[in-house]
Structure 1
């Protein structure tokens, strides 16, 4: 399973790249706003750091507006993937952009039917938001299982399942076990994936044993 970093913080992304753990990056207007920086500048810096896709989200509401923005963003770097919402207008834009060879990440997916429509519209990635489903009492992983199964039934559908709204390391484990193609992970969650108390205690014991034989 590929790991994307869900961030617009260039320092976080640089650290993930140094660890060999950034197959791509996803951004959204909220993350860009938090960075307090110019959108184009941030996307350019991120694209220079990673070899994989970098999702840049449109803010227009009509297909024409989304396509216009998407065509502009696609000029910034060959890494850029255009992120559109899963609305009727978003899927129209997806179809038009993908037909021109531009990668599209369809976001804000909350049902398997939506995921099927996005794949039919030519989406490169579908982004189901599992954390937000968990927030309203549903099991977000049930949705991942449904989408993975549906897509596997139809090999002509090339859309990759990109698990989004990841809240904790268990989400990553479950996504991998279900066969998702990608999980996009906040850096804080990625950082937690390193941690286990037995690793720490085991290392401490090895070092003490080594010191005892060196004395």
Structure 2
């Protein structure tokens, strides 16, 4: 339930690119910000990136919005990030931790942080990558470190171990925030809280399940059985002949 969500310390960001849904989520108290990525932008069929980004930024007002660069070249990443940042004061420019050749985006992170541009370093998977980022940033800059906990879990590793280590590394850095990314289930919100993450980004499909938090499990069991029974009847398949 929303009241339970509001009791958590971790901030919930809505992850997606559908303008209609962004409008519906912006008024929810427990939604503190919004994130997008190129895959979500492509799925939404966006034609004008600048117009689209400015429209979202204006609709969500004081809540933060992370918009990713498209470039793979470091110089172009910097140029694009500066442009993206100029579109609205509540925008964080998302920078991948590396380019497609596996080269660390350190020069980009360093220049943008020195310029005071809020950035969201994305696709982080290891504490080594986070440490490398910390070595090149200006500590006064506003930085979000997006660690892809869900993808880490996909490899059979416990993401909570990584998130706890990352949280410890960021302890005392008042302008740096740790974000639990690639969320797979509602329980991840509580894992993010337990591992001292500052933010968790949750897809629109998962946000529809927030009302299940704290649900009576016996009731949930009965509803599940009822759902299976109705589906079985609708198939009109038979195990035994009619009697």
Name the TM-score, length of structure 1 as normaliser. Answer: 0.86
The aligned length equals 199
- Say which of 42, 57, 70 aligns to 1:33: 42
Matched with 2:111 is 96
4+ long deviations beyond 3 Å: none
Give the match's secondary structure for 2:26. Answer: helix
In the alignment, does 2:180 pair up with 1:171?
Answer: no
Q: Distance in 1 between the 2:110 and 2:145 partners?
A: 13
Match of 1:60 in 2: 71
Structure 1 partner of 2:30: 21
Q: 1:150 aligns with which of 169, 192, 198?
A: 169
Given the superposition, is the C-alpha separation of residues 113 and 158 from structure 1 closer, same or farther in structure 2, using an over 3 Å criterion?
farther
Gaps of 5+ in 1: 202-215
Shift of 1:75: 1.6
Which residues of structure 2 form unaligned runs of 5+? 1-9, 221-243
Tell me the secondary structure at the aligned position of residue 105 of structure 2: helix
Equivalent-residue separation in structure 1 for 2:54 and 2:155 (angstroms): 36
Tell me what 1:186 maps to: 203
Which structure would you say has the larger Rg?
A: 2
1:212 corresponds to:
none
Q: CA deviation at 1:157?
A: 6.8
Residue 208 of structure 1: aligned partner: none
* Higher helix residue share: 1
